[in-house]
Amino acid sequence: MRHKEKRVSIKNEIDIVEAVFESKTLAETAGFSLTAQCAVSTAVSELARNIFKYAVKGVIILRIIEKDGNIGMEVVAEDNGPGIENLNLVMKGNYSTGGSLGLGISGVKRLMDEFSIDTKKRQGLRIITRKWA
Specify the 3-state DSSP secondary structure of 13.
Answer: helix
130 pLDDT above the threshold of 90: yes
Q: Which one is predicted more confidently, 91 or 1?
A: 91
pLDDT reported for residue 98: 52
**Which residues in 5-43 are b (16+ Cβ under 10 Å) and which e?**
eeebebeeeebbebbbebbbebbeebebeeebbebbbbb
Split at pLDDT 50, 70, 90, the class of 104 is: confident
Q: For residues 125-133, give the mean pLDDT.
A: 95
- For 16-54, write each residue's pLDDT tens digit: 999 999 999 999 999 999 999 999 999 999 999 999 998
Confidence of residue 91 (pLDDT cuts 50, 70, 90): low
The band of 93, judged by pLDDT with boundaries at 50, 70 and 90, is low
CA distance 82 to 64: 29
